[in-house]
Structure 1
Amino acid sequence: MDYFKSLAHELFFNNFETPPTSIQFIDAALSCTSPIFAPPYTDPNQIRIIRRHLVSLLQDYPSFKPSIDPFTHDDGTSVNLLNANGELQVSSSTPPIPLTIWLHESYPFIAPIVLVSTNIDFPIYDNHPFVESSSGAISSFYLVNWKYPGCNLSDLVHNLIKIFSHNHPFYYSPSNDNFFHPSLASRREAVDRLSCNLYYDTTELLSKTHDEVEELSSLREQMVKRAIIAEFTVDEHENERTELKERVKILTDEADKLSSWLKVNDQSSIPEDKIEDAFEATDEDSKVLIDCIAADRATEDLIYSLDNVVEKGVVPLGTYLKQVRLLARDQFFGRAKLVKMGISLQWLD
């Protein structure tokens, strides 16, 4: 950059016996034809407009000085652009704001690029409504809605002074803000202040919305987990319901069979001494099964009774053991007979 400026100085100022004035510098820059240093403004009408706007800016704000330097766009292309740099002193109680106003290749039909120079002593606010903290780029209402011929550099700087007097871009220890009454503001100033207030309100609303979204996301995760548990529980209950329905069907069928049997074997029509005759085996295996079950359960009852009497001392232990041995032997042969016939011992449970 310093090398470029030294070459530009040699190119533009060699024809001057004394350092050129700002107007002479602008004329020399706009008339330069060197392929290395010439700016990209080629249309005569565009050149006249740029000269008029720059001269008007420097007359209205003498703190600004013209310059021509390489500018790199966001897409990486570099071009030599005229620019005006200086400091804005918006009030005596605030630090000055160093600005650089770059004239775009298509100026004045494209808005100039305005940057706030970084300041070590006064860093830029992180959430300033009009200044991007990392690059210093300004995006005020005036620039966003730039339209030629209604807009020019002098009015732009005037607008920046107004908005920065209410919302200074630097961190500093402010004194009491100047009193502001809406009736004293122009339409553009009112729009700028409204944009600023809307920006802060939107920032606060976005922050609250972000917190609410985080809270709702956490709640959603909990609801999803509960829904999974509920679905699992419903599936379990549905399976249990199906099993119960099948069991009810089985029990209903058994109850129907029992009702049918009771109708055929009505106790009131059978003499008391013949009730047991109602339970008759239909074949030889069934008869053997009934006899074995009756004998097995009778043996169990007898052994249980012997356990009680031996505990009370009514029967001697030797007699008890002898009787239990005989009963167990008979019970074993009865169960072996069932196994030999292929009948499951589950009937004895």
Structure 2
Amino acid sequence: MDLPALQQRFAQRDREALQELQEAGQFIAGGPVDRFEADFADYCDVNHCVSCGNGLDALIILLRADQSLGNLPQNARILVPAHTYIATFLSIVEAGMIPVPVDVNPILLTVDVIEAQLGSFDAIVAVDIYGKLVDDEVYAFAKANNLHIYTDTAQSHGAKTATGVKSGARGRGSAFSFYPTKNLGAMGDAGAITCNDDLLARTARQIANYGRSSRFVNDVKGVNSRMDTLQAAFLNNRLLFLDNDNKKRYKIAQTYVEQIENEKVKLPELKFLEENAIHVFPVFVDDREKFVAYLSGHGIQTNCHYAIAPHQQDAFKELNHLQFPQTEYLHQTEVSLPCHPLLEDHEIQEIIIAINEYT
């Protein structure tokens, strides 16, 4: 990503926002935070947006809040796709719960895997990996079986289902990250919870602010995880551009799917383009190191989402014995191609030509 250029689009608006904050002298909470929460809740078609410090905190606080309301047991077992960033696993553990990882097909959690694990878990955290929404049937299955399902929406800002339901409005609650490289990114860390339940939102907000109900009254053990007012102001500037940016991402991804033709480079299946914010456009190659070096030699920068699966990390030694063939294949072969709103047509064609000539 050309992150400096992407952020430069908002330079004048950001300077004005900073000046307003300096003049107002309110650097924690206040107008910009309230405005972002209201606007993002409206954007996601939900009743509540609870801002917090980052995406990891958002999922931790969401799980903790629902546990405190009696909707999750102590030491709850949380079904989670093995194919995700380690933050999803960490949030479950930091909330005092136990991750129950399962494999994906081809990249997302599916009903058949969940059904096979019934009885071994208490709730589900689905992950919209690469920006692709988890299928509606997963949410329908969870509802039919009286299972709470939460969503890690850290990569799916602005995606919506075929029926128009937005990312952030599905399941019991959702956790967003606004890390600078996200489709909706701040200029530092920031996160948010979205949900429709009044009590869940109020409890999450309380936990995120020291557990207090008023200035000197603390009803629960909380944390300090608040979105900086400055980051909220920056996000207010960027939210207006999200849908248009996502349309550009989609067009780039569609061009890749239509024009990349190389048997050594496996593209995601065609329906990957549907219900997707296209945060990442992945391809899969057997010799990733060789492929990445080849593209680098042509002036094309790539990334990897992600090189090592959470269950194979030293941080989760207790899970190292588990095997998830599809997840491990994805983590061993995935390469993320450039796919951001400022890519020029000639740059896209250069990328496609280079890939098609790869041997």
Greater fraction of residues in strand? 2
Report which of the two structures shows the higher radius of gyration computed on alpha carbons: 1
Greater relative contact order structure (CA < 8 Å, 6+ sep): 2
Settle same-fold status: TM greater than 0.5.
Answer: no
More helix by share: 1
